Amino acid sequence: MFSELMNFLRACFRPRSDRHVHKGSDAGGRQDGLLWYKDSGQHANGEFSMAVVQANNLLEDQSQMESGNLSLHEAGPYGTFVGVYDGHGGPETSRYVNDHLFQHLKRFTSEQQSMSVDVIRKAFQATEEGVIAQVSKQWSMRPQIAAVGSCCLVGVICGGTLYIANLGDSRAVLGRVVKATGEVLSVQLSAEHNASIESVRQELRALHPDDPQIVVLKHNVWRVKGLIQVSRSIGDVYLKRAEFNREPLYAKFRLREPIKKPILSAEPSISVLQLQPQDQFIIFASDGLWEHLSNQEAVDIVQNHPRNGSARRLVKAALQEAAKKREMRYSDLKKIDRGVRRHFHDDITVIVVFLDSNLVSRASSTKCASLSVRGGGVNLRPNSLAPCTTPSDTGMA
């Protein structure tokens, strides 16, 4: 009886890969303990590889790979959409982004009949507004939902153009071959918004000149208002609207002075790049990877091995580094269960997108097969934020 109960509980809590591969995808991912992976797949512009390893008790990283029609109209445009959403304080906001951001993008693309920076910016804004609306509905019963947020990294490839949009400290890195030498060098594509970066602290001080405590060095880590490392995010409405920074929100999240203007921003940094034949692949990953690997180290791992399993290989390299830093064996680290595992490394999400120059150069009107894959984590119904655990310091980005 006891063994049957334990099997039932394991089934309830284990992220099931079949929940994360939607209709139209080519094959399901696989689960190996706390690791979910899809070693290989085909998107509109080449191949891809995905992997997610869980560290938190509830997986806070969410991710998606969408390929095919990027609008609601049959005429397109067609292309590839990549999303990595690193939640903090709980999984609710990252799950919400995973369920809504791409749908907003398709709606605005349909309205403008093309992909653009404006379309992406509007999709981010609509997602943020949706989160605020959900927090407003749940505030009286679950005020701590105001302290849940998510970083948000998006890549869109459409008609030979690459759009990178980012909030927070996830990162997109390009592997680009140098024609003269054949070397593949790393090129960071995303701007990051973390208070550990001097330029971010300067930006915050310029925006809040009357607040000497806008960034605080706490336990040797720079934090906005001493609370959170990222300066831009979806959610975290307790640092954006005064009505959500009061009782009954936990005292540790409440500010002494009332909020006069938003402290955190949901305005993404967006860059646009015309892809060239020498652009080989893009690594999209949450900061859990970049804590342990440099940009060039990650690019070298992808370049020097077969494409199949690239994302899983990067996750393993990061975990090996995490184990080394704690003077333990990788095999022993893998035995540590979720929750406790967070003391050794963060949730890590990696999506490697390979670029086939023949496919990349096609017109955005060229139709292609539809594919939709989500990384590990349990997906909830789309119109609500999920039940959550209490936000904790270890969960904050």
**Hey, where are the domains in the chain?**
30-37+46-177+229-373
Q: Which residues in the chain come in under a pLDDT of 50?
A: 1-26, 377-397
Instruction: Please tell me the predicted confidence (pLDDT) of residue 389.
Output: 34
Peptide bond just before 248 cis, omega within 30 deg: yes
pLDDT of residue 73: 92
For residue 327, is it left (φ>0), alpha (ψ between -120 and 50) or beta? left
Give residue-wise pLDDT tens across range 40-60.
999 999 999 999 999 988 999
**Strand-strand pairing, 184-188 and 171-177:** antiparallel
Q: What is the pLDDT of residue 8?
A: 34
What is the model's pLDDT at position 386? 39
The predicted structure's pLDDT at residue 22: 36
Residue 284 is predicted with a pLDDT of 98
pLDDT reported for residue 16: 35
Residue 152 Cα distances to 76, 128, 187, 233, angstroms? 24, 11, 19, 7
What is the number of alpha carbons within 13 Å of residue 376 lying toward its C-beta? 28
Residue 198 pLDDT: 96
Confidence (pLDDT) at 358: 87
pLDDT at position 27, please?
A: 56
Q: Which amino acid is at 139?
A: W
Specify the pLDDT at position 144.
95
**CATH label, 30-37+46-177+229-373, candidates 3.40.50.2020, 3.30.360.10, 3.40.50.300, 3.60.40.10:** 3.60.40.10
Residue among 34, 32, 28, 29 at smallest CA distance from 59: 34
Nearest CA-CA partner of 225 in 217, 234, 216: 216
pLDDT given for residue 75 in this prediction:
86
pLDDT of 393 reads 35
| Per-residue pLDDT at 1 | 44
Q: How far apart are CA 158 and CA 363, in angstroms?
A: 8
